[in-house]
């Protein structure tokens, strides 16, 4: 469904992403893992076109999308969250969510900001995530975890085919972590494809069908969680450290 071919993003001399190639299968939950600074966020930025890749190709459902502008990528059905939640301040949760719904043409621009249908849709998404009670709360007043859930809600408003989640459970408490895992599984069960960056290995091993491991801008390993877990290169570059930490 999503194919990333030879993706490169260089910042001056820094090769944040350096020839990464991987695919995400339709209907799968694929994890993108790797040590800090491996280039995961940068890869997300290039795929969603938040930044322009230096070179390489990104294909979505057989269409090349790496030359599109970000809003077009979203319109094609690929939506992403940001590692550091970028909520729109001074806007309510429901506005934060509805701002992500599709607008049709120039005539659509001058329709009411939030139609009844959109409000209903937003409310049912918020209900699914269990946060209807904060719908009219100012986005500024949310807890860290609520912001993560709001990000997820906004994502769903654009009717995506594939979602890219950048550390959706980074820094949240264990009970919310469980909640987020079950939301992702539920969405996946309804056919949504997921590409997820996460540091929590427990979450990754439970959730993902496939794991892509990045280090220093490259993909060093790619396979099922069990295969990746035992790969010597991965152990060396990344998991070694994590597993040792967990053992300690």
Partner 1 sequence: MAVTLDQSSASAVVEARRAHNEKLARKADQTRATWFPLAVMAILIALPLLQFTGNYNYLLHMVLFTASHVAMASGWNILGGFAGYISLGHSVFFAIGGYFSGMILARYGISTIVTAPLAGLLAAVVGYLIGMVTLKVRGPSFIISSIALLMIARILFDNWELIGGANGVTLPVNDLPVQWAKIPYYYAMLAIAAFTVWASYKIKHSKFGLGLRAISKDEIKAESAGIDTRFYKVMAFALSAFFVGMAGAVWGEYLTYLRPNIFLVILVSANLVLMSILGGKGTVAGPVIGAILIVALNELFVATMGASEINILGTGMVMAAGLMFFPLGLVGTLARKGKLPRVLNWD
Ligand X SMILES: Nc1ncnc2c1ncn2[C@@H]1O[C@H](COP(=O)(O)OP(=O)(O)O)[C@@H](O)[C@H]1O
Rounded to 5 degrees, φ, ψ at 202 are -60, -45
Q: Which does 127 bind (CB under 5 to 8 A by kind): partner 1, ligand X, Mg ion, none?
A: partner 1
Q: How far apart are CA 27 and CA 34, in angstroms?
A: 23
DSSP H/E element including 60:
strand 55-60
DSSP H/E element including 184:
helix 174-189
DSSP H/E element including 42:
helix 40-47
Q: Return the range that interacts with ligand X (CB under 6 A); candidates 34-42, 149-157, 203-211, 226-234.
A: 34-42
213 and 20 Cβ atoms separated by less than 8 Å: no
Q: How far apart are CA 141 and CA 135, in angstroms?
A: 12
Binding positions for partner 1, 2-61, rule CB under 8 A: 48, 50
| Two tokens, residue 133 | 């009670």
Q: Which does 10 bind (CB under 5 to 8 A by kind): Mg ion, partner 1, ligand X, none?
A: none
What DSSP state is assigned to residue 170? T
Q: Return the range that interacts with ligand X (CB under 6 A); candidates 35-43, 73-81, 129-137, 145-153.
A: 35-43
Q: Could you report how far apart the first and last alpha carbons of the chain are, in Å?
A: 39
Q: Which does 34 bind (CB under 5 to 8 A by kind): Mg ion, partner 1, ligand X, none?
A: ligand X
Q: Return the range that interacts with partner 1 (CB under 8 A); candidates 10-18, 63-71, 172-180, 203-211.
A: 63-71
Query: Does residue 146 touch partner 1 according to CB under 8 A?
Result: no
Residues forming the site for ligand X (CB under 6 A): 11, 14, 16, 34, 36-42
Residues forming the site for partner 1 (CB under 8 A): 48, 50, 69-71, 74-75, 77, 79-80, 82, 86-91, 95, 98-103, 108-114, 119-121, 123-125, 127-128, 132-133, 135-136, 154, 156, 158-161, 187, 190-192
């Amino acid at each position: 469904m999503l194919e990333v071919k030879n993706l490169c993003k260089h910042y001056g001399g820094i090769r944040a992403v350096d020839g990464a190639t991987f695919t995400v299968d339709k209907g799968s939950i694929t994890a993108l893992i790797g040590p800090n600074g491996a280039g995961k966020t940068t890869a997300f930025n290039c795929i969603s076109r938040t930044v322009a890749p230096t070179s390489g190709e990104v294909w979505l459902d057989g269409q090349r999308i790496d030359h599109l502008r970000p809003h077009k990528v979203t319109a094609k059905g690929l939506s992403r969250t940001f590692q550091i939640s970028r909520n729109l301040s001074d806007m309510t949760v429901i506005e934060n969510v509805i701002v992500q719904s599709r607008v049709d043409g120039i005539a659509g621009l001058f329709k009411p900001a939030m139609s009844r249908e959109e409000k209903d849709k937003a409310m049912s998404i918020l209900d699914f995530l269990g946060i209807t009670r904060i719908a009219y709360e100012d986005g500024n007043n949310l807890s860290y975890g609520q912001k993560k859930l709001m990000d997820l809600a906004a994502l769903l408003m654009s009717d995506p085919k594939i979602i890219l989640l950048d550390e959706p459970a980074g820094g949240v408490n264990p009970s919310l972590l469980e909640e987020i895992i079950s939301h992702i599984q539920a969405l996946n069960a309804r056919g949504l494809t997921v590409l997820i960056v996460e540091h929590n290995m427990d979450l990754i091993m439970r959730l993902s069908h496939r794991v892509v491991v990045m280090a220093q801008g490259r993909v060093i390993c790619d396979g099922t969680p069990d295969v990746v877990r035992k790969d010597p290169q991965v152990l060396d570059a990344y998991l070694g450290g994590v597993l040792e930490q967990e053992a300690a």
